[in-house]
Amino acid sequence: MIKRKLLGQHFLNSKSIAEFIVKEARISKNDVVFEIGTGLGILTPLLCKNAQKVISVDADENLIKKAKSTFARFDNLVLKSGDGFKKKYVFSIFVSNLPYSRSKDAIEWLSKTPFSHGVIMVQKEFAEKLFATSKNRRAISIIATHALNIEKISDVGKNNFSPPPKIDSVILKISQNIVMDETLISTINNIFSYRRKTVKNILKQFNKQSKIEKRVDDLSGDEIVNLAKQILEK
């Protein structure tokens, strides 16, 4: 359990919440489901019931070994150990109780990975960052709202996990809006390191000219994305 805490993972222990997540994922027999964070497998067998195939990845090799034994009856299940965000699988639906330490990585990865829709569980504090507006926005807020359609569908109390985290979680329903280029994501992150500067001075850093005196906090999400695209123009 100590290792899982280091990985930022807390095991969901509520079957009713697991069933709710899978129901909201709207899985059909034509779908390939990708799950990051197999954990103790509370979601995995439920996913297998409706999907054409389920690919489940966990960073903990011991948990994957255990899952291979426990779920040997499912011939539509592929279990792999390692970093799921570095795997190159084709899938239509993404479902995950995300390790808290990897939530930002997950959103950036989903923003550049083709898929249809999914259901994820994240820390409440992180969800608030995704929906933040104006001066509370982070780069991840802009990336998420540009690439994805995100809807909060449920709150989940900390007591539904083992070990219990320090903060509650939320379940988010997501669908893809566009697939972003990795360089665009990187540039948006870079822009937020200059958030106190004006657009004019930001572009100056990249040998480009502008007369716009607005700061990053005064720009809309689309304007920030367009600024990033302007920086990337040859």
> Measured between alpha carbons, how far is 170 from 187 in angstroms, rounded to an integer?
29
pTM: 0.92
**Fold (topology level) of 2-180:** Rossmann fold (3.40.50)
The mean pLDDT value for 96-108 works out to 90
pLDDT at residue 4, as a whole number: 43
Q: Cα(113)–Cα(176) distance, rounded to whole angstroms?
A: 9
Q: What gap in Å lies between CA 113 and CA 167, rounded to an integer?
A: 29
Q: What is the per-residue pLDDT across 201-216, written as a single tens digit (0 to 9) for each?
A: 999 988 888 889 999 9
Residue 9's pLDDT band (cuts 50, 70, 90):
low
pLDDT > 70 fraction of the chain, expressed in percent and rounded: 96
pLDDT at 3: 42
Domain ranges of the chain: 2-180, 184-232
Q: What is the mean pLDDT of residues 164-184?
A: 96
Give the model's pLDDT for residue 100: 79
pLDDT at 43 exceeding the cut of 80: yes
